[in-house]
């Protein structure tokens, strides 16, 4: 299993990076991206600190990636800060999408896709036009196991199938119990309307993202 969207105590997670990594490995994850909430104030700090933890993965036979989740950032700044995050060393850039359970600014989904981020997290009531553009630009859309954000998984899955957009399955983990098993990941995916083949493809998409990063 691979999880490309997790949080540590560097934002609102409950676990320091070392424990997050160890618990994820114990739960059966082979790769993990630590993507703490970031904006202009803390992005460089988060990237620098998480970069210190990638070495830990070698001792656990696990890949640890440095990432950020640009969160509640004005759409007009998302492109600029996506570029800055990568220049600072972020290996994966996630944007906190227009979930229906938070007051995310309208236009965030579109700005993230136009910026070519790696993953648009919990994109809520994403439009058909945005999904089509995500397919064109290779931006992965997230099926999330996290409560609340998962309310619109079915829409994301259906539109991704219609327009050929890539899906990934992430936990958006903030606490130990959020690192769900493969069986639960599968249940969430099938509950969103994915077929067994589409679930397998989503899991493969995450693996391909990791492989592409490691080959840079």
Residues 26 and 59: beta-carbon distance below 8 Å: no
% of the chain residues with pLDDT over 70: 100
pLDDT of residue 164: 98
Q: How many CB atoms lie within 10 A of CB 129?
A: 12
| 67 sits in which H/E element | strand 63-70
Per-residue pLDDT of 78-92, as tens digits, reads: 999 999 999 999 999
Q: Which two tokens stand for residue 88?
A: 């600072």
pLDDT category, 216, cuts 50, 70, 90? confident
Domain boundaries, the chain: 2-214
pLDDT of residue 157: 98
Rounded to the nearest integer, the mean pLDDT of the chain is: 97
Could you tell me which CATH number the domain at 2-214 has? 3.20.20.140
The candidate with the shortest Cα–Cα distance to 178, out of 49, 53, 13, 9, is 13
pLDDT, mean of residues 145-163: 98
pLDDT of residue 80: 98
Whether residue 140 is predicted with pLDDT greater than 90 in this model: the reply is: yes
Residues 34 and 64: beta-carbon distance below 8 Å: yes
pLDDT category, 188, cuts 50, 70, 90? very high
In whole angstroms, give the CA distance from residue 59 to residue 73: 35
In whole angstroms, give the CA distance from residue 51 to residue 34: 10
pLDDT of residue 186: 98
Q: Which two tokens stand for residue 155?
A: 């829409």
Residues 189 and 169: beta-carbon distance below 8 Å: yes
Residues 108 and 95: beta-carbon distance below 8 Å: yes
Per-residue pLDDT of 8-43, as tens digits, reads: 999 999 999 999 999 999 999 999 999 999 999 999
Whether residue 197 is predicted with pLDDT greater than 90 in this model: the reply is: yes
3-state secondary structure of 70: strand
Whether residue 147 is predicted with pLDDT greater than 90 in this model: the reply is: yes
Per-residue pLDDT of 34-56, as tens digits, reads: 999 999 999 999 999 999 999 98
pLDDT, mean of residues 150-168: 98
pTM as predicted: 0.97
% of the chain residues with pLDDT over 90: 98
Sheet holding 167-170, edge to edge: 2-6, 31-38, 63-70, 92-96, 119-121, 140-144, 167-170
């Amino acid at each position: 299993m691979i999880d490309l969207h997790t949080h540590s105590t560097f934002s609102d997670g409950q676990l320091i990076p070392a424990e997050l990594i160890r618990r994820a490995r114990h739960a059966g994850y082979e790769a993990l991206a630590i993507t703490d909430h970031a904006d202009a104030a803390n992005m460089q700090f988060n990237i620098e600190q998480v970069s210190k933890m990638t070495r830990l993965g070698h001792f656990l036979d696990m890949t640890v990636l440095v990432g950020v989740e640009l969160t509640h950032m004005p759409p007009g700044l998302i492109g600029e800060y996506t570029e800055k995050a990568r220049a600072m060393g972020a290996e994966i850039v996630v944007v906190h999408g227009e979930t229906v359970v938070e007051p995310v600014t309208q236009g965030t989904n579109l700005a993230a896709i136009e910026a070519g981020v790696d993953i648009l997290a919990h994109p809520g009531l994403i439009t058909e036009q945005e999904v089509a553009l995500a397919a064109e630009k290779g931006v992965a859309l997230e099926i999330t196991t996290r409560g609340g954000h998962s309310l619109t998984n079915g829409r994301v899955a259906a539109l991704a199938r219609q327009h050929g957009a890539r899906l990934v399955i992430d936990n958006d983990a903030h606490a130990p119990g959020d690192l769900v098993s493969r069986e639960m990941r599968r249940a969430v995916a099938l509950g969103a309307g994915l077929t067994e083949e589409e679930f397998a493809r989503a899991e493969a998409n995450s693996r391909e993202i990791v492989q592409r990063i490691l080959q840079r």
